[in-house]
Structure 1
Amino acid sequence: MEKNHFEAPQAELTTETNQQYQLASRWRRFFAAMVDSMVMMLILVPIMYFAGFFDDVMNGVEPGILFNLLFGLIGVAVFVVINGQFLISTGQTVGKKLLSIKIVTEDDKQADFGVLVARYAFYLGIPLIPIIGGFINFVNILFIFSGSKQCLHDRVAATYVVNCNGG
């Protein structure tokens, strides 16, 4: 029988992976982010109240870019105060601790300080960019629907969010 020169090439396709962990579900990541947001709001809303943010908004005055940038930076500082030690010691935020998930590198090791800075600089910094930051952040979050369940900030830092203790 003659060989068909128009036939698709045949090859055994296998995907090798050294992942020793189970990726966290999108729902666990979502609820961990919600917990982190609620904890942040408990601190930031009173600061915004005493800074007069709500008075201006109620009077129809839209906060300026500098005001928004200042509160964005205050938010980053509050995030670091609340979660910094947890992130460095276990790769978790308060929300991730409650939902038993953590951040690891591609080789299932705890992310070091530099990796965490890259990850959260992107995650927390992008929304602070005037005009386009919100759109980029939206795209960042939509990446969670990829097969690897990695947001764009995970890909930038080469990290995964995984279940703790195989759960």
Structure 2
Amino acid sequence: MSTDQPEQPPDDDPFRKRPPEPGAQPPPYPGAAAGGGGASFGAPDPLAGMPPLASRFKRLIARIVDGLLVSIPVSAVFYGAYWGHHPWNDQGRSTGLGIIISVVYFVYEGLMLTSRGQTVGKMLMKIRVGMLENGAIPAGTPGWTRAAVYSLPQIVPCCGFVFWLVNVLWCTWDEPYHQCLHDKAAKTVVVSAVH
């Protein structure tokens, strides 16, 4: 006797998609620590379908590269402009240079993130910044917010460096997305740029 229904795969077929069992925890996003779920129970994981999270080591190397890329030329121009002429004492000149580097870094990072999702350091490390919601380039406000929260607090006397240090170390204990405070402010995440 023939039926018009398609043949069903056997129950032991490993490629058969089965609906999740009631009450089952969704699988963790790619790159998540073993046993850690990336999303709240029942909520879709924002990183589903995105590349794995970037390693903290690659993020550090990218920041070092970007820091050198900005600070060396700015410092050279700054000291070249005042060679032999000291209108400020050493402390004032050092503070002025720090403020200029922070502002230039803010502009550099804001422009790079809003247009490419990567700085030069991130390109070298093959990582990128994406919106946590969908992985898109943080164009506009999110890219500039991320750059501002990273760079501009350093110009605040006395406590700016402390905030910056807490900000960049935050990703070492943040779960599940390893976000720094500047990522949280912009709702971004750093992921691998290659699949």
* TM-score band, normalised by shorter chain: 0.7 to 0.9
The residue that corresponds to 1:33 in the other structure is: 63
Deviation per residue, 1:71-91 (Å, 9 max, x gap): 344224533665554323211
TM-score, structure 2 length as denominator?
0.66
The answer to whether the 8 A contact 2:70-2:104 is kept is yes
- After superposition, where does 1:63-82 map in structure 2 within 5 Å? 63-64=91-92, 68=95, 70-79=96-105, 82=108
Q: Does 1:45 align with 2:53?
A: no
The answer to whether the 8 A contact 1:123-1:153 is kept is yes
The residue that corresponds to 1:153 in the other structure is: 182
Q: 1:81 to 1:104 in 2, by over 3 A?
A: same
Q: 1:121 to 1:83 in 2, by over 3 A?
A: closer
Q: Percent identity?
A: 29
Q: 1:55 to 1:23 in 2, by over 3 A?
A: farther
Q: Which stretches in structure 1 are left out of the alignment for 5+ residues?
A: 1-10
Paired residue for 2:150, among 113, 123, 126?
123
The answer to whether the 8 A contact 2:117-2:130 is kept is yes
The answer to whether the 8 A contact 2:59-2:122 is kept is yes
The residue matched to 2:104 in structure 1 has which SS?
helix
The residue matched to 2:194 in structure 1 has which SS?
helix
The answer to whether the 8 A contact 1:91-1:110 is kept is yes
Question: What letter is aligned with 2:46?
Answer: N
The answer to whether the 8 A contact 2:54-2:127 is kept is yes
- Supply the distance in 2 between the matched residues of 1:74 and 1:102 (Cα, whole angstroms): 26
Aligned length: 150
Q: Which stretches in structure 2 are left out of the alignment for 5+ residues?
A: 1-22, 27-38
Question: What letter is aligned with 2:171?
Answer: I
Deviation per residue, 1:80-139 (Å, 9 max, x gap): 665554323211111001111111111211111211111111110111111111111111
Q: 1:84 to 1:135 in 2, by over 3 A?
A: closer
Q: What RMSD over aligned residues (CA atoms) do the two structures have, in Å?
A: 2.7
Instruction: Give the structure with the higher percent helix.
Output: 1
The residue that corresponds to 1:105 in the other structure is: 131
TM-score, structure 1 length as denominator?
0.76
- Supply the distance in 1 between the matched residues of 2:83 and 2:150 (Cα, whole angstroms): 24
